[in-house]
Chain A
Amino acid sequence: GAVVSQHPSRVICKSGTSVKIECRSLDFQATTMFWYRQFPKQSLMLMATSNEGSKATYEQGVEKDKFLINHASLTLSTLTVTSAHPEDSSFYICSAAMLSAQETQYFGPGTRLLVL
């Protein structure tokens, strides 16, 4: 149980284009979903927290107009990187927490984004 999927697993795009990443909780309802970014050999850094049906809460230094987050249902959250640039190239990972056990997050497999 507690499976989280992400799609796509890998994406290469040209600078200036937008990229959408989907995060789904497959076998549970996730009241809260989180988006992280991880650069090589570094810790996961939280970008934003999203609750179903409400606006996401962004961490300091994360541009909300650049990283659009939508949490339309209890099983789906999307992250759109708008006008991507090479410095946005990173590993993006989502996670989901169950209502009954908010302490533990279940992570997706991650999406590798390369902006040329």
Chain B
Amino acid sequence: SQKIEQNSEALNIQEGKTATLTCNYTNYSPAYLQWYRQDPGRGPVFLLLIRENEKEKRKERLKVTFDTTLKQSLFHITASQPADSATYLCVHSWGKLQFGAGTQVVVTP
């Protein structure tokens, strides 16, 4: 079955550094992947969508890559800030949205 995997361990990072999150998928080739942010007790917020024919996409301090050979998407937060602390979800669509478990990012001052 189609599967999406994110690193379940929390990522602790110092303010100003770049946080890099990994999303791996198996058993299918998604036409696109999406990244969402979720804060505790809140609904997810859409961040970026990257299509299979796009190698990279940027939005302010966020950058997403899509490597169809490695079957992987990387999500980068550059110049991270404490306000970036949240859980980041990699999401694919197979008729409906399928969410990864998410990776918690903790940015310390």
Interface of B is mostly: strand
Interfacial chain B residues near A2, Cβ < 8 Å: 46
What band does the interface of chain A fall in when counting residues whose beta carbon is under 8 Å from B?
20 to 34
Name the interface residues of B24-67: CB closer than 8 Å to any CB of A. Answer: 32, 34, 36, 41-46, 49
Q: List 12 A-B contacts (CB under 8 A).
A: A42-B101, A43-B99, A49-B96, A103-B32, A103-B34, A103-B49, A107-B36, A107-B45, A108-B43, A109-B42, A110-B41, A112-B41
Decide yes or no whether A105 CB sits under 8 A from chain B: yes
What band does the interface of chain B fall in when counting residues whose beta carbon is under 8 Å from A?
10 to 19
Name the interface residues of A54-97: CB closer than 8 Å to any CB of B. Answer: 91, 93-95
Q: What residues make up the interface of A, taking CB atoms closer than 8 Å to B?
A: 2, 4, 6, 34, 42-44, 46, 49, 91, 93-95, 103-110, 112
Q: A95-B43, A110-B41 are in contact. Are A43 and B96 (CB under 8 A)?
A: no
By the criterion CB–CB under 8 Å, are A107 and B97 in contact?
no
Number of cross-chain contacts by CB at 8 Å:
44
By the criterion CB–CB under 8 Å, are A105 and B102 in contact?
no
By the criterion CB–CB under 8 Å, are B100 and A43 in contact?
yes
* Closest Cβ neighbor of B42 among chain A residues: A109
